[in-house]
Structure 1
């Protein structure tokens, strides 16, 4: 692949169509995600409303990555509204297969962590990742995420095979 200029920015409601399209594409390219082959299965107008709400939030963030004005990936942090756990953000990243191994995951995670450290009251980030997704585990370890547990049979493959899942976390704002 020739050199590509990547743009990262926070998603708004205007990005709903692009986010749906990239989620559907990625969900067909990999089975490492919780999403099935349909991707985000939401009506575009509902997703647009949710994206505007996320954009206005100080504990929820969604970044989109673009190459030549086409969405190629997303990175998010989602926190609960429940007071006792509102300080915990759940991290999620997905990238179109053509853009794997180019450092995009690193770029998106760096940006998310900068936003969290500058703009939020989150004190803990956590995620789950399939044990077989060694690239993602390496990425998270590079940013000091720690393994807290291995969840036996934490996911199931499309062919019914049980998969172990790693629970990882990072304490922020210390």
Structure 2
């Protein structure tokens, strides 16, 4: 099976929602703000299309020839700082360890430096997620000290913000 990284499209909405549900069930380090169960396929399709039509947001997916999805990477601009995009990357458990997360991160940085209007990529990573931290460090993300952050009412996980200053970025 051959996998490729490509831009997500509205046609991916059903497969993307299924991927997000699986990622949430497989990992306690993967969090998204909205409950996936409350998002319908049409709304998700519209959201993907709107996101992809901006210069400061992007969604990439790892897909096979049949458009099955195995991973996702996003850069989403902050409303307060439109030139600062938050990065999120996740790969299905059975496909981790093959360099897919690194390839997704490389593509996000390339997009950020050659196409986007952003000057910074940032993310929040759990301190205990040593594999992800290593990947981000390897690609040049640097730490910004931060207080512990509550994930829900019963769990507090230590996290750190990391930032990558983009060299390019369109004006």
TM (normalized to structure 2)?
Answer: 0.89
Q: Distance in 2 between matches of 1:131 and 1:119?
A: 31
Deviation at 1:115, TM superposition (A): 1.0
- 1:9/1:129 CA distance change after superposition, 3 Å: same
Q: Is the 8 A contact 1:122 1:173 kept in 2?
A: no
Deviation at 1:43, TM superposition (A): 1.3
3-state SS in 1 of match to 2:61: strand
2:108 maps to which residue?
Answer: 112
1:155 maps to which residue?
Answer: 150
User: What pairs up with 1:5-154 in 2 under 5 angstroms?
Assistant: 5-35=2-32, 39=36, 41-69=38-66, 70-82=68-80, 85-152=81-148, 154=149
Give CA deviations for 1:125-158 in whole Å, capped at 9, x if unaligned. 1100111111110110011100101332x13379
Tell me how large the CA RMSD over aligned residues is: 1.9
TM (normalized to structure 1)?
Answer: 0.88
2:165 maps to which residue?
Answer: 171
Q: Distance in 2 between matches of 1:155 and 1:107?
A: 30
Gap regions ≥5 residues in structure 2: none
Instruction: State the 4+ residue runs in structure 1 displaced beyond 2 angstroms.
Output: 38-41, 155-158
3-state SS in 1 of match to 2:73: strand
Deviation at 1:173, TM superposition (A): 2.1
Q: Is the 8 A contact 1:31 1:157 kept in 2?
A: no
Gap regions ≥5 residues in structure 1: none
3-state SS in 1 of match to 2:146: strand
3-state SS in 1 of match to 2:60: strand
Aligned length: 166
